[in-house]
Amino acid sequence: MSTAIYPGSFDPITYGHMDVIDKAQRAFDKVVICVGVNQKKTPTFTPQYRCDLIKELYPDCDVITWNGLIVEAAKHVGAAVIVRGFRALADFEAEFRMAHINKRLAPDIDTVMFPTSEETTFYSSSIAKELAMVGAPLIDIVPASVERALRDTFRPVNIQKTPR
């Protein structure tokens, strides 16, 4: 049975992430979604809440959190493959470098990269949060459950014009 691990911050999960997960599920017998805990970042949602949002969308997937090297997480869950997604050439270059570093750290673990579909190329967690902050529509960027979570977290900022 082939097992792959898909790491990311998923803060929050977007349709772009879901596009990569769906492709990975077609390619591998089992996909473990790994919510990364990065001490250098200040996430909007707790790791557990991010896991809960993902589990609601992918009830048949294992969803874990990990604080450390992704190759160690892959070994922990028995994954022979790390799945990565990329939207543009700049993403590919960064992922390509990381794939080589991971290969040096764990020669028995490969990296497979999936390009996002044309419809999700411009979606990111950052864009979803920025749009939510100003009350803009999140149609086609995040699922309804994630949109509710964002709306509950961010109240739109009203920009008022200063009278002359």
pLDDT, tens only, 77-90: 999 999 999 988 77
pLDDT, tens only, 44-97: 999 999 999 999 999 999 999 999 999 999 999 999 999 999 988 778 888 999
Active-site positions? 17, 41, 87, 125
CA distances from 87 to 49, 71, 95, 134 (A): 25, 22, 11, 25
* Domain ranges for the chain: 3-120
Q: What is the pLDDT of residue 6?
A: 98
Give this prediction's pTM: 0.90
pLDDT, tens only, 136-156: 989 889 999 999 999 999 876
Q: Looking at domain 3-120, does it have CATH number 3.20.20.140?
A: no
Q: What is the pLDDT of residue 145?
A: 95
Supply the mean pLDDT for the chain: 92
